[in-house]
Amino acid sequence: MAKELSLAENLPALGNHYVWFKNELNKIVWSGLNAPETKCLNVVLSSYYEVLKEDSQAQSVLITFDDMRKRLNYTHNRVNIMNYVKSIRTKLMGWHEFTLNDVETSFVLIPTINIDRKHKFFRFVFNPDLTRLLLFDRENGEFVRYPERAIINLNSVTSMTLYRLLKGFRTTGIAIFTKDGQAGKTKDDPDRPGLWDLLEVKSSMRESDFNKRYLKPAMIDLAPYFHSLDFKKKYAVIKGHRAVTGYVFTFTKEAPDQNENLFGDKLKQHKEAGQRQHHYRRSGI
């Protein structure tokens, strides 16, 4: 078993942290997490990746209370980050199964989370089998990579989720999703759930309400992070009616080794100007 790194060795310095995991993790619904919990989990994944770069057999990561608070941008003490970590521990237990390549797997990604109040740090212990399958494998897999601070700067779970999903296609600039899980069983990617499943949208919701409450606000939020971001809807005739069956997002693709700086003048100007308009194409393809 790999040695557990000391607290000092196990903590990456504050700065430009990156979340990095295999595309397979984007095929799992990150079920039940609210915005603070989603941000917290991204900090954990980013920290664990920093440890894995030094020791690919490492199974745990330590994060001090102060480091977690700073990276979540919670500078006042009224925010109890321990409550977020506790709720993550409960909700991760619900991520109990998924299917990849026609193989069903039951799992808990982080089976142990310790909260050390005396020494003021969290210890997250990862499932080693899931680490290789979903997070880190030097030999195999396509990877999702994005700056941790991008998630921290977003406010809604929908925007965070869509950002993460689109980053899975950052080197191609085109992301195609079916609407729901049933339609999501395609030949090209039979394991990926539909967009509504991934965003945890109720199937009973009307398309117009989905546009208003989920899609349009998220597109506005993500405009500073993707050059030329846009989308189209895919249509088909179902039971005699024209219905939406999927979504195609497009944006300027990135170089595989692009060093993203998303927090400079462009984002600042976007926020200061209060640009809350985005033009969408809704033609079928």
Question: From first to last of its 285 residues, what are the pLDDT tens digits of the chain?
Answer: 444 433 434 443 335 799 988 888 888 889 889 999 999 999 999 999 999 888 888 999 999 999 999 999 887 666 788 899 999 988 887 776 666 666 777 778 899 999 999 999 999 999 888 887 788 765 555 788 899 999 999 989 999 999 999 999 999 999 999 998 654 455 555 567 899 999 999 999 999 999 999 999 999 999 999 999 999 999 998 888 899 999 999 999 987 766 444 334 444 444 444 444 444 444 444
Quick one: pLDDT at residue 139?
57
CA distances from 98 to 41, 45, 101, 184, 199 (A): 19, 19, 10, 14, 16
> Cα separation of 53 and 270, whole Å?
34
- pTM listed for this prediction: 0.81
> Which of 126, 93, 91, 108 lies closest to 4 in space, CA to CA?
126
Quick one: pLDDT at residue 173?
95
Dihedral, CA of residue 233, residue 100, residue 170 and residue 130, to nearest 10 = 140
Burial of 109 (0-12, 13-18, 19+ CB in 10 A): buried
Quick one: pLDDT at residue 260?
47
Quick one: pLDDT at residue 264?
41
Query: ∠ CA 165-268-176 to the nearest 5 degrees?
Result: 20
Tokens at residue 135, please? 């997070």
Output DSSP code: residue 213: I
Quick one: pLDDT at residue 163?
97
Tokens at residue 69, please? 């608070």
Quick one: pLDDT at residue 138?
56
